[in-house]
Amino acid sequence: MGLRPDLLTRRAAGVASTTLALLLSTAAVGVVPAASAFSAAPGEACVEPADVHADARIKAGGAARHEPNELTLAETREREADLAAALRERARFRAGAGATTLAATVTIPVVVHVIQENSTRAGGNIPDSMITSQINVLNQSYSGATGGAATAFSFQLQKINRVTNPAWYPIVQGSSAERSMKSSLREGGKNTLNVYLGELSNDLLGWATFPQRKLSSMDGVVVLSESLPGGTAANYNQGDTGTHEVGHWLNLYHTFQGGCSGQGDGVSDTPAEASPAFQCPTGRDTCTAPGADPITNFMDYTYDSCMYQFTAGQASRMLTAWNAYRAA
């Protein structure tokens, strides 16, 4: 699995690729078996999660100390059982409404909240140009233009909301201040991506909520502002933290979820991986199962210059979850 030598040049140019033709097979338009490898059996009771689980991307050296809410096996099974239940619920609704089609292409409206301590760049006041470049990176990454599988998703910036509030700066994951910030600022329905930018606590690059059936005010993505294209976060400033966290928002797990055992990330075409990969360790292979570690996948922890792809299985999983949780 080779690296993409032209990736940095293409992203620096800031060219969006939303016009790329999207070719999805029948397997990638949201149709899944009645039960996944993780899911509860049909008819089995499913309990709504007590709270929204979050997942994060962490700088090299920070994983052991600052991993917020990494999913346990029990939490993963809970989420997968809920996904199966949500799919059955949606199927009954569509049957009752006489609808027979599922979304195959999706344009996601994006509202960006820039959280600032003051009006300086050091205080979080990044330029609009970095935000529009981030939207371009999302569109390139999710269209397959950087070399991975094409997904169903494109992104359209609706609004930039600038908020100066030292009480919310830096953004602290899991804090009452984070809850207050999101409860006050979040806009739109389940289909609207709310992105919160600012300085973050504990060496975190970002975190995100997974989708759930009942919309929570916490729903959204938090990203280190200087990880956007042109930012100052060395090795993490090409916009792939945003790509990674939106992947969680669309129901992807880390490629190293579950390590070498069990069902891993629930996607059959991402090879098993024992632990996060940092920097760009070409040829790394930490599990005996076939395939080298997916270090170029957006859902690992490698440098932005190393990651460039989603797989077809991840594209299918995201669209399945969209039709279960976020579709109108």
Res 215 pLDDT > 60: yes
Which pLDDT score is estimated for 239? Answer: 98
> Residue 309 carries which DSSP code?
B
Cβ 228 vs Cβ 130: under 8 Å: yes
pLDDT band at 54 (very low <50, low <70, confident <90, very high): low
Q: Which of 78, 226, 245, 273 is catalytic?
A: 245
Which pLDDT score is estimated for 98? Answer: 56
Which pLDDT score is estimated for 159? Answer: 98
Which pLDDT score is estimated for 121? Answer: 97
Q: How many CA atoms lie within 13 A of 305 on its CB side?
A: 11
Instruction: Tell me the domain boundaries of the chain.
Output: 104-252, 253-309
> Residue 263 carries which DSSP code?
T
Lowest-pLDDT range of 36-45, 169-178, 286-295: 36-45
Active site residue 80: no
Fold of 104-252: Collagenase (Catalytic Domain) (3.40.390)
Which has the higher per-residue pLDDT, 60 or 262? 262
Going from the C-alpha of 168 to that of each of 59, 194, 208, the distances in angstroms are 22, 16, 17
The SS3 call for residue 208 is strand
pTM here?
0.82
* DSSP one-letter string for 65-117: T--TTPPPHHHHHHHHHHHHHHHHHHHHHHHHHT-----SSEEEEEEEEEEES
